[in-house]
């Protein structure tokens, strides 16, 4: 029933118009698992719960399905059980008719073979491994383009214009890019563009010295900032009414002129309003949240409004690539020792003179694979008003998720602000602020949850035969009476007792060594790994 909306898209095109393109999602390697430990202790990164009811992979899958990409491979390497299970239960993996007859969703597990006696690592390594299987399969002979997507990103977008741009430029490789600050640039692949948005230089994770070579002046940046880009995937976008501090700014075009007026103002409140509108337009919080004067840089018709901070400009790669299939196969064969696209293959191809173009991605985008802190911030951005990712989407471009069969949440006497609460929760006389509460969360009276992510549970206590009787040392699933949870990520099925205080009272930034097993501090955020048991009265 994912495809009930019919065989035609909004534009009246066939819903699977991109039959000669295949998508490859990088399902997570060992290195990023280490970066997000302990959330990745039992699962690979794209399987981590996000926004209460979703898993990270659901956003990527929804982008693909809603953009008419009907052939999807998910390359898994590390700890992939939970991801496989989620994909199997959520998406129709049988392929065939619902995907336009020739479509499919396939999980491709990393494996050793007589030709490859070692465990494959790195982005290029895993794609090479996949391509050897892909190229040898006759059914794939019509595929012309390979869309490669990292599995650790949060964004909602229509991919159709990116694919169209790749075709219109005749690019061998299109890299999806964004304007970024110097601080962000150091953590990304950074490109330098010519006036046609062709990439002339690519440097992976440049250091401060290398960064100066990659800075682009306002004039150099202009063609990139003014290039047509995709609309945020909101068909109802133009019907929205924008409000800032309770003041109605009218619909799309009225709001746009208000951004224009406010953005060039020196008044702090007006600037804040411009930022709020900027966020309302679906633009990244990271682009506008760092303070400093926001200037309306370019304004063209429709959706192409770009606000940027006039610090030195850089253009960063999102790690999303569309390769012409033969260019990819040939590069992987020629640079057969290369394990990474950013460090090796892409700079080599540019040096060779291959046609590599940058497409500008607008709207919210976050890479959550760098650290627990990145994951935490991307969750908190969901609580912004309007949220970074709008889960409330139209039927023709929905966000798909596992269809949980649990009832509405029961709440009594709960004080809540800036919170998202999923289905199946039982919450009484608690205070929840700035937090995301996942499915089947049980929160007892007197509890305070602040700045936290409670992922919930995949079963209720009574559903499982009791292996161990409940006691002060082994509390029931959920959060016990009078506990205080602050700036904490509580993974699934945790048991937190009475009068527990998870408040990071010593202000620890990083710790793997707490008294109770399963409790960690990463980037100043307390993380309880899945199934942790926190006895009554514990204070951290």
Kindly tell me which of 123 and 379 has the beta carbon lying closer to ligand ADQ: 123
Q: Does 151 bind ligand ADQ (CB under 6 A)?
A: yes
Q: Measure CA 265 to chain center.
A: 33
Kindly tell me which of 124 and 494 has the beta carbon lying closer to ligand ADQ: 124
Give the shortest CB-114-to-ligand ADQ separation in angstroms: 20
Kindly tell me which of 77 and 414 has the beta carbon lying closer to ligand ADQ: 77
Give the shortest CB-342-to-ligand ADQ separation in angstroms: 3
Interaction mask 63-102, ligand ADQ, x per CB under 6 A: ------------x-x-------------------------
Q: Does 317 bind ligand ADQ (CB under 6 A)?
A: yes
For tokens 């911030």, name the residue.
Answer: 377
- Pick from 19, 28, 438, 497 the residue near ligand ADQ by CB under 6 A: 28
DSSP code of residue 463: G
Q: What is the CA radius of gyration of the chain?
A: 24
Give the shortest CB-77-to-ligand ADQ separation in angstroms: 3
493 contacts 530 by C-beta, under 8 angstroms: yes
Kindly tell me which of 63 and 435 has the beta carbon lying closer to ligand ADQ: 63
Q: Does 429 bind ligand ADQ (CB under 6 A)?
A: no
Q: Does 342 bind ligand ADQ (CB under 6 A)?
A: yes
Query: Taking CA 79 as the corner, what is the angle to CA 76 and CA 82, rounded to the nearest 5 degrees?
Result: 90
Pairing of strands 247-248, 243-244: antiparallel
Considering all CA atoms of the chain, what is the largest pairwise distance in Å, rounded to the nearest integer? 69
- Pick from 47, 65, 126, 328 the residue near ligand ADQ by CB under 6 A: 126
Q: Does 206 bind ligand ADQ (CB under 6 A)?
A: no
Burial 399-422 (b: 16+ CB within 10 A, else e): bbbbeeeeeebebeebebebbbbb
Give the shortest CB-151-to-ligand ADQ separation in angstroms: 5
Q: Does 327 bind ligand ADQ (CB under 6 A)?
A: no
Pairing of strands 431-437, 495-496: unpaired
Kindly tell me which of 57 and 494 has the beta carbon lying closer to ligand ADQ: 57
- Pick from 92, 102, 204, 384 the residue near ligand ADQ by CB under 6 A: 204
Distance CA(504)–CA(23), nearest Å, equals 42
Q: Where do the H-state alpha helices sit in 8-55?
A: 30-35
Q: Exposed, middle or buried: residue 42 (CB in 10 Å: 0-12, 13-18, 19+)?
A: middle
Kindly tell me which of 27 and 480 has the beta carbon lying closer to ligand ADQ: 27
411 contacts 391 by C-beta, under 8 angstroms: no
Q: Segment contacting ligand ADQ (CB under 6 A): 115-123, 216-224, 478-486, 493-501?
A: 115-123
Distance CA(166)–CA(171), nearest Å, equals 6
Structure tokens at 239: 């019907």
For tokens 């269809």, name the residue.
Answer: 403
Q: Does 29 bind ligand ADQ (CB under 6 A)?
A: yes
Kindly tell me which of 27 and 518 has the beta carbon lying closer to ligand ADQ: 27
Kindly list the residues in this chain that would bind ligand ADQ in the complex (CB under 6 A).
26-29, 31-32, 45, 75, 77, 120-123, 125-126, 150-152, 188-189, 204, 316-319, 341-342, 367, 369
């Amino acid at each position: 029933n994912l495809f009930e909306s019919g065989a035609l898209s909004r534009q009246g095109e066939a819903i699977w118009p991109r039959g000669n393109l295949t998508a490859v999602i990088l399902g997570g390697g060992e290195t990023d698992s280490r970066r997000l430990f302990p959330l990745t202790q039992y699962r690979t990164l794209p399987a981590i719960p996000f926004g209460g009811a979703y898993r990270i992979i659901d956003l990527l899958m929804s982008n693909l399905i809603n953009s008419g990409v009907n052939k999807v491979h998910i390359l898994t390497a590390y700890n992939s059980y939970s991801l496989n299970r989620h994909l199997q239960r959520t998406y129709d993996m049988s392929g065939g008719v619902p995907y336009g007859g020739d479509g499919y969703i396939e999980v491709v597990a990393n494996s050793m073979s007589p030709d490859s006696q070692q465990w494959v690592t790195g982005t290029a390594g895993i794609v090479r491994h996949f391509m050897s299987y892909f190229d040898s399969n006759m059914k794939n002979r019509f595929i012309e383009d390979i869309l490669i997507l990292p599995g650790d990103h949060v964004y909602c977008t229509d991919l159709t214009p990116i694919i169209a741009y790749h075709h219109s430029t005749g690019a061998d490789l299109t890299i999806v890019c964004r304007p970024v600050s110097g601080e962000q640039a150091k953590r990304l692949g950074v490109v330098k563009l010519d006036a046609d948005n062709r990439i002339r230089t690519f440097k992976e994770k440049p250091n401060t010295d290398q960064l100066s070579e990659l800075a682009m002046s306002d004039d150099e940046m202009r063609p990139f900032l003014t290039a047509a880009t995709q609309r945020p995937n909101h068909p109802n976008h133009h019907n929205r009414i924008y409000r800032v501090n309770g003041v109605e700014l009218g619909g799309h075009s009225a709001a746009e002129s208000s951004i224009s007026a406010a953005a060039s103002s020196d008044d702090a409140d007006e600037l804040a309003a411009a930022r709020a509108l900027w966020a309302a337009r679906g633009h990244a919080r990271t682009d506008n949240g760092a303070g400093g004067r926001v200037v309306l840089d370019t304004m063209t018709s429709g959706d192409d409004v770009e606000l940027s901070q006039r610090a030195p400009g850089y253009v960063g790669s999102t790690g999303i690539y569309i390769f012409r299939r033969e260019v990819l196969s040939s590069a992987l064969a020629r640079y057969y020792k290369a394990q990474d696209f950013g460090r090796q293959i892409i700079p080599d191809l540019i040096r060779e003179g291959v046609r590599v173009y940058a497409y500008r991605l607008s709207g919210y985008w976050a890479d959550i694979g760098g650290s627990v802190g990145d994951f935490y911030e991307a969750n908190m951005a969901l609580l912004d008003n309007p949220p970074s990712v709008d889960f409330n989407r139209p039927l023709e471009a929905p966000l798909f998720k596992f269809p949980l069969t649990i009832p509405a949440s029961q709440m009594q006497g709960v004080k809540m602000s800036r919170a998202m609460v999923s289905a199946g929760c039982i919450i009484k006389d608690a205070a929840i602020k700035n937090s995301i509460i996942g499915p089947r969360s049980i929160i007892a009276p007197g509890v305070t949850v602040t700045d936290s992510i409670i992922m919930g549970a995949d079963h209720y206590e009574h559903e499982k035969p009791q292996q161990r009787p409940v006691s002060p040392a082994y509390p029931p699933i959920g959060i016990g009476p009078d506990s205080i949870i602050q700036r904490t990520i509580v993974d699934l099925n945790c048991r937190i007792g009475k009068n527990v205080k998870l408040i990071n009272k010593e202000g620890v930034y990083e710790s793997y060594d707490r008294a109770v097993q399963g409790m960690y501090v990463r980037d100043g955020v307390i993380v309880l790994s899945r199934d942790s048991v926190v006895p009554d009265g514990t204070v951290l």
